[in-house]
């Protein structure tokens, strides 16, 4: 870290403590050349996720959109909203920890369907009917048959 007063690259840390929000570390430093003290901040750089849509468009990841879709699928079902929030947050964390900067909307949709299949099968079918864009009753019935075979 260069001293802001003399430009020397040599300094020593005299004090370190977490910032109030605990998302950064505040460090007091002393320049070994001129002796002056200064403060630096160390933060984790978070690269935001980008969603690659079917048409190739790229948009910022928004877990609120996922939660909204899941809540619509669970409309009039006895599924606690807190459970949905925690599962959507877990999905977001999984995507962030994958190390990828871009994620396809198809992968997100499949993960959401897997999540809903565990929580509520009716909500799963509702979500799948919109996500998979069933063209007719037969494709809808195929999905139901597959769900029943796995149950």
In order of 3, 24, 76, the CA distances from 114 in angstroms are: 53, 35, 20
- Residue 80 gets which letter from DSSP? -
Q: Which two tokens stand for residue 20?
A: 């109030």
The verdict on residue 1 lying in a domain is no
- Higher-pLDDT residue of 37, 98: 37
| Residue 128 in domain | yes
Tokens read off for 60: 């910022």
The count of structural domains within the chain is 2
The helix (H) or strand (E) run that includes residue 139 is helix 137-150
Using pLDDT thresholds of 50, 70 and 90, give the confidence band for residue 81. very high
* 19 shares its domain with 89: no
* Residue 28 domain boundaries: 11-43
Backbone angles phi, psi at 12, to 5 degrees: -130, 150
Q: Is the pLDDT of residue 100 over 80?
A: yes
Most confident of 22-26, 65-69, 96-100, 146-150: 65-69
Same domain for 121 and 66? yes
**Is 69 within a domain?**
yes
Indicate if the pLDDT at residue 137 is higher than 80: no
Residue 94, in any domain of the structure: yes
Look at residue 86 and give its three-state secondary structure: helix
Q: Are residues 86 and 125 in the same domain?
A: yes
Residue 46 has pLDDT above 90, yes or no: no
Chain centroid, CA 63 distance in Å = 6
Round to whole Å and give the CA distance between 107 and 143.
18
Are residues 90 and 144 both part of a single domain?
A: yes
Query: Is 86 found in the same domain as 27?
Result: no
Considering the domain architecture, whether residues 135 and 81 belong to the same structural domain is answered as: yes
For residue 10, give both structure tokens.
């040599």
Local confidence band at 151 (pLDDT 50, 70, 90 cut-offs): low
Q: Are 71 and 89 found together in one domain? A: yes
For 119-147, what is the mean pLDDT?
Answer: 78
More confident residue, 140 or 11: 11
Give the strand pairing for 24-31 and 37-43. antiparallel
Are residues 73 and 31 part of one domain? no
**Would you state the pLDDT for residue 104?**
95
Are both 28 and 102 inside the same structural domain?
no
- How does DSSP assign 26-65, residue by residue? EEEEEETTT--EEEEEEE---PPPEEE-TTS-EEE--HHH
């Amino acid at each position: 870290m260069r001293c802001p007063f003399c430009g020397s690259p040599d300094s020593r840390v005299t004090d370190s403590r977490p910032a109030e929000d605990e998302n950064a570390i505040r460090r007091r430093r002393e320049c070994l050349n001129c002796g002056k003290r200064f403060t630096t901040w160390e933060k984790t750089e978070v690269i935001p996720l980008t969603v690659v849509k079917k048409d190739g468009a790229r948009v910022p990841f928004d877990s609120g959109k996922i939660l909204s879709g899941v809540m619509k699928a669970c409309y009039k079902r006895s599924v606690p909203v807190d459970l949905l929030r925690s599962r959507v947050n877990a999905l977001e964390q999984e995507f962030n920890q994958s190390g990828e900067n871009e994620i396809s909307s198809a992968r997100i949709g499949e993960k959401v369907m897997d999540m809903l299949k565990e929580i509520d099968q009716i909500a799963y079918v509702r979500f799948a009917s919109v996500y998979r864009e069933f063209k007719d009753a037969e494709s809808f019935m195929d999905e139901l048959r597959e769900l029943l075979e796995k149950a």
